[in-house]
Amino acid sequence: MKNTSNYGVLMINLGTPDAPNAPEVRRYLREFLSDPRVVDLNPLLWKPILNLIILTIRPPKVAKIYQQVWMDEGSPLLVLSNRLKDNVKNALSHKHGKDIPVELAMTYGNPSIESAADKLREQGVQNIVVIPMYPQFSASTTAAAYDRLMKSLKKCPHWPALQLMHDYADHSLYIKALANSIRAQWDKQGERRHLVLSYHGIPKRYVTNGDPYARRCETTSRLVAETLELSDQEWTHVYQSRFGREEWLQPYADATLRALPSMGIKKINVISPAFSIDCIETLEEVTLELGDEFKANGGVAFDYIPALNDTPDHVALYIDLIEQNTKQWN
Ligand SMILES: C=CC1=C(C)c2cc3[nH]c(cc4nc(cc5[nH]c(cc1n2)c(C)c5CCC(=O)O)C(CCC(=O)O)=C4C)c(C)c3C=C
Ligand SMILES: [Fe+2]
Ligand SMILES: [Fe+2]
């Protein structure tokens, strides 16, 4: 197929270490946790804590966790993001009968936003639709990706036209895709179970200061529950991945899962809708850590429902997001 497309697609995810060892994890965490969108503390206070404590203690511990989930081709976040990108590119190009450039970038680490933007430029792309792979907008993720994109274009003499997608927390195809994967899990296990929707947390202060993330997560949970016709007693909304000492969004996933069995809820399914792609936070923290805590406190059945990853429903959603955001270039 020849490239006659008048636009290209840039999909952006968070980023992940290049290898599951302490030096690479340290390099990744240094870049990620130095971004003021992620940790907004005064640098005079934060930099010594980051350099002397966090980047000393955390990398060897976290590297071991990456080793547990690492795939033959690399980090799950990168491998599975690439598979989704390839499927989106194939489906989009097939639909339009021409090659449509689609590139994947990571806000932190590789492939960098700069290198992906260069690749699009090399393919003659003048118009770029940018799709951050975060269903629920947060300044700590989506805006951070856009900061990096703007920085990468600083030296660019001929700016492309940009269409910046905001989020898709309430998109009908997203809700349908989540509902379908929950139903598929229920069919597989032969029973419906209490559904825990567990989102990556952020400091509560960010939301108090105006970040819409919590509201967007609540919207997703409500729409999934409505689609599956769940009563209020049949689902629970929680936040995981707490980092540091200050208060993060509540209810916390770990405390909630410890308490559920004593409330008579001993069999659960957990889905993590804020993660478009499975990664260390879902494959280890949810599946292993939270699963163990639930069972240690009287839970008898715990099954994680995978992220949408490279499934056909997810591809259909991304195609729709791209189509909605490129109407002006068709
Ligand atoms: C320190 C503050 C953090 C904020 C705020 C935060 C927001 C946030 N993150 C994601 C998605 C992912 N986070 C991942 C890993 C991860 N996140 C933090 C910290 C914050 N995240 C850390 C320190 C780490 C690294 C692991 C660790 O040391 O515990 C990942 C997975 C990356 C991977 O390689 O697998 C994702 C994805 C969202 C959606 C979000 C806010 C909405
Ligand atoms: Fe995170
Ligand atoms: Fe974590």
Give 307's pLDDT tier (boundaries 50, 70, 90).
very high
pTM of the predicted model as reported, rounded to 2 decimal places: 0.97
pLDDT given for residue 157 in this prediction? 82
Give 2's pLDDT tier (boundaries 50, 70, 90).
low
Give 155's pLDDT tier (boundaries 50, 70, 90).
confident
Q: What are the tens digits of pLDDT across the range 69-121?
A: 999 999 999 999 999 999 999 999 999 999 999 999 999 999 999 999 999 99
Which amino acid belongs to residue 162?
L
Atom of ligand 1 nearest to the CA of 78: 34
Could you tell me if 80 and 47 are in contact, meaning their C-beta atoms sit under 8 angstroms apart? no
pLDDT given for residue 242 in this prediction? 93
Does pLDDT of 143 surpass 80? yes
Q: Over the chain, what is the mean pLDDT? A: 96
Residue 36: DSSP 8-state: T
Helices (H), the chain: 22-33, 43-48, 55-69, 76-96, 113-122, 144-152, 172-189, 204-208, 213-227, 253-259, 280, 291-296, 312-324
pLDDT given for residue 330 in this prediction? 80
Atom of ligand 1 nearest to the CA of 138: 42
Q: Is 55 in the pocket of ligand 1 (CB under 6 A)?
A: no
Q: Is 281 annotated as belonging to a binding site?
A: yes
Distance 213 CA to ligand 2 centre (A): 13
Q: What are the tens digits of pLDDT across the range 184-241?
A: 999 999 999 999 999 999 999 999 999 999 999 999 999 999 999 999 999 999 999 9
Does pLDDT of 266 surpass 90? yes
Distance 285 CA to ligand 2 centre (A): 12
Give 3's pLDDT tier (boundaries 50, 70, 90).
low
pLDDT given for residue 181 in this prediction? 98
Substitution candidate for ligand 1 out of 27, 66, 140, 218 with most atoms within 8 A of CB: 140
pLDDT given for residue 299 in this prediction? 98
Substitution candidate for ligand 1 out of 205, 243, 276, 289 with most atoms within 8 A of CB: 243
Q: Which CATH class is domain 172-305?
A: alpha beta
Range 152-178 average pLDDT: 94
pLDDT given for residue 158 in this prediction? 82
Range 146-168 average pLDDT: 93
Does pLDDT of 1 surpass 60? no
Task: Please count the helices (runs of H) and the strands (runs of E) in the chain.
Answer: 13, 8
Q: Is 279 in the pocket of ligand 1 (CB under 6 A)?
A: yes
Which ligand minimizes its atom distance to the CA of 108? 1
Measured CA to CA, the distance from residue 262 to residue 220 in angstroms comes to 27
Does pLDDT of 59 surpass 60? yes
- CA-based max dimension of the chain: 63
Range 255-269 average pLDDT: 98
Q: What are the tens digits of pLDDT across the range 39-53?
A: 999 999 999 999 999
Which ligand minimizes its atom distance to the CA of 64? 1
Q: Is 286 in the pocket of ligand 1 (CB under 6 A)?
A: no
Residue 160: DSSP 8-state: P
